[in-house]
Amino acid sequence: MLQALIDGILLGGVYGVIATGLSLVFGVLGVVNFAHAEFLMLGMYVAWFAWRWLGLDPLLGSVLSFVIVFAVGYVVQRTLIERVLKAPPAAQVFLTVGLLIAIENAALMVFGSEFRSVSVPYQVQGYRLGDIFIGAPYLYAFAAAVILAAALWLFLERSWTGRAIRAVAQDAMAATLVGVDTKRTYGLAFGLGVALTAFGGAVILPYITVSPTVGGQFVVLMFTVVVLGGLGSVAGALAGGIMVGVVQSMSTLIFPIQLQNLCLFVIFIAVLALRPQGLIKGA
Amino acid sequence: MPETALSSATPDAAASAVLEVRDLSAAYGGPDVLSAVTLGVRTGETVAVLGANTAGKTTLLRAISGLIPKARGHIAFEGLALLGRPAHTIPGLGIGHVPEGRHVFPRMTTLDNLMMGAFFHRGAKDIAERLERVFTLFPRLQERQAQLAGSMSGGEQQMVSIGRALMGKPKLLLLDEPSHGLAPIVVDELHGAIGAINRQGVSVLLVEQNAMLALSVAHRGYVLEAGHVVLSGSSQSLSADPGVRRAYLGV
């Protein structure tokens, strides 16, 4: 029981960072990015190649994932997403779903369909505290996620660019009137959003294999986290991530492991039906 | 009686004009909301623009701030043509805009709202000094600096919005209905502050539905009707004008 709780928290911290990216994009641009999980996949591939070619541990490669996917995201936003910012939601859905299909198939062409994984020395190591076993890759991924979340918080609260992103999210016209270039800010926010998710993908590479369709595993999870935390709320997404991790991990105590996502679906639908503004207030 | 608007034909007047609007027309895709509006603000002046709700007052200010890309005509700020410049570059030139409806950043603290006002000048050394000046003008903001702007009263939000614009060190302040929806005592306080801002050397273009209030702080005024300037003159002459008195002063 306690073991499942700890496993869930360790998983959930990473889910939180992954979903924070999605939440940030929605909060600032007002666009639901259905292609978001594809950037997770890209982040995983960047980290995989960094490991294969440069010998970088995915925990370090994650920085590279962050930077490269940020750049990709910025360009995607300025060239594609920007065109539908003021369009009806249907146009936004078509674009981001189209993007999802395009990125996934491009990845299939470029990377092939095989599953790839890394091998790192700490992969099967862990720490034992009484009856509790904490897997090293889970612990390190969680720690990296927490560090990134803290850095994100500092960035949004304290830096000029971070404040500008929040300002644009809250009132784009007023932000313009104080000299914020909203188009550039939308690009930065989208880049940052997909980069956060890519980072999350990279740090879980030691325990999850990557393939071009890996994003599919994370789509529902990501949206559940964000729905729990309230779409557009960064702090909520982190808390929602931990909740989802715990639910997933706890449900394996009761149900067979194949059904762990069933619990998520049920919660996802229940929250949407009963409390569409999210479980967590404010932030 | 109507004073001639500033025209570029008289070099002296043009040199002392901080803002010059000539033949400005603007539309939001339908018929013109502003048609061939010509008006000006001289350095150090407070100028009021009066008119009913749909007269085009807000559109005028939005056009000056670059928020209406399809505006046609000529707008010059200190001799610099404004039309065609991206909106986010306008505040850096020295124009502060306090929009209608205040538009504070609701989920930011008062302090962060004010800091955002200095966004264009981020890194400037005198930000603390500017903040001090805003707090002197509105002591309430200093007390409430940690409060989320969205949770404050209308009057306080208006102070935040004005303070935010002042943080950008404007030479010209555009004020859109600052007294709208506020209690009379708060309105008095705000108009006192507008006078103080003007005395510190900031030129003011004030849009108000409440003509009495506007003319009490302004040196001059223009009356806008259905997108046209129909009357202009000193505050005294406008308050004495029978048409203005009937239409806008309710006497």
Q: What is the ipTM of this complex?
A: 0.90
What is the per-residue pLDDT for A259? 76
What is the per-residue pLDDT for A278? 66
Closest CA to B160 of A170, A282, A283, A183: A170
Indicate the residue of A163, A170, A181 with minimum beta-carbon distance to B106: A170
> How close A166 comes to chain B (CA, Å)?
8
Among B residues 163-182, those touching chain A with beta carbons less than 8 Å apart: 164-165, 167-168
> How close B232 comes to chain A (CA, Å)?
28
Q: What's the whole-number mean pLDDT along residues A264-282?
A: 74
Provide the strand spans (E) within B57-112. 72-77, 80-81, 95-98
Q: Enumerate the residues of chain B whose CB falls inside 8 A of the CB of residue A176.
A: 65, 67, 87-88
Residue B69 corresponds to which amino acid? P
What is the per-residue pLDDT for A280? 60
What is the per-residue pLDDT for B6? 42
* pLDDT top residue among A188 and A225: A188
Count the neighbouring beta carbons within 10 Å of the beta carbon of residue A186. 25
Q: How many residues does chain B have?
A: 251
CA end-to-end span of chain B, whole Å?
21
A262 — pLDDT class (breaks 50, 70, 90): confident
Output Rg (C-alpha) for chain B, integer angstroms: 17
Among A residues 133-172, those touching chain B with beta carbons less than 8 Å apart: 160, 163-164, 166-167, 170-171
Verify whether the Cβ–Cβ distance B105 to A170 is below 8 Å.
Answer: yes
Per-residue pLDDT of chain B (251 residues; tens, 9 = 90+): 444 444 434 444 444 899 999 999 998 888 899 999 999 999 999 999 998 888 899 999 999 999 998 899 999 999 999 999 999 999 999 999 999 999 999 999 999 999 999 999 998 899 999 999 999 999 999 999 999 999 999 999 999 999 999 999 999 999 999 999 999 999 999 999 999 999 999 999 999 888 888 999 999 999 999 999 999 999 999 999 888 888 776 65
Q: Enumerate the residues of chain A whose CB falls inside 8 A of the CB of residue B89.
A: 179
In the block, tokens 């939180």 appear at: A16
Among B residues 47-106, those touching chain A with beta carbons less than 8 Å apart: 65, 67, 86-92, 97, 99, 103-106
Count the neighbouring beta carbons within 10 Å of the beta carbon of residue A227. 26
Indicate the residue of A171, A174, A179 with minimum beta-carbon distance to B92: A179
- Whether the CB-CB separation of A97 and A35 falls below 8 Å is answered with yes
Q: Between the CA of residue A13 and those of A8, A143, A280, what are the distances in Å?
A: 8, 8, 16
What is the per-residue pLDDT for B120? 93
Indicate the residue of A167, A173, A178 with minimum beta-carbon distance to B120: A178
Substitution target from A177, A186, A233, A281 for chain B, most B beta carbons within 10 A = A177
What is the per-residue pLDDT for B137? 96
What is the per-residue pLDDT for B12? 45
Q: What's the whole-number mean pLDDT along residues A104-129?
A: 93
Q: Enumerate the residues of chain B whose CB falls inside 8 A of the CB of residue A182.
A: 88
Over residues A151-184, the pLDDT tens digits come to 999 999 999 999 999 999 999 999 999 999 999 9
Verify whether the Cβ–Cβ distance A176 to B67 is below 8 Å.
Answer: yes
Q: If 0-12 CB within 10 Å is exposed, 13-18 middle and 19+ buried, where does residue B129 land?
A: exposed
Chain centre to alpha carbon of residue A192:
11
Verify whether the Cβ–Cβ distance B117 to A171 is below 8 Å.
Answer: no
Verify whether the Cβ–Cβ distance A176 to B107 is below 8 Å.
Answer: no
Chain B CA closest to residue A163: B116
Verify whether the Cβ–Cβ distance A177 to B92 is below 8 Å.
Answer: no
What is the per-residue pLDDT for A264? 80
> How close B106 comes to chain A (CA, Å)?
7
Chain A CA closest to residue B167: A178
A282 — pLDDT class (breaks 50, 70, 90): very low
**Element (DSSP H or E) covering residue A126:** strand A126-129
Could you give the strand order of the β-sheet that contains B172-176, starting from the edge strand earlier in sequence?
B95-98, B172-176, B203-208, B46-51, B220-225, B228-234
Q: If 0-12 CB within 10 Å is exposed, 13-18 middle and 19+ buried, where does residue A129 land?
A: exposed
For residue B249, the 8-state DSSP code is I
* pLDDT top residue among B71 and A229: B71
Per-chain mean pLDDT for chain A: 91
What is the per-residue pLDDT for B250? 65
> How close A190 comes to chain B (CA, Å)?
20
Instruction: Please state whether beta strands B80-81 and A132-135 pair in parallel, antiparallel, or not at all (unpaired).
Output: unpaired
What is the per-residue pLDDT for B8? 38
- Whether the CB-CB separation of B163 and B117 falls below 8 Å is answered with yes
**In three state form, how does the secondary structure of A69-117 look?**
HHHHHHHHHHHHHHHHCCCCHHHHHHHHHHHHHHHHHHHHHHHCCCCEC
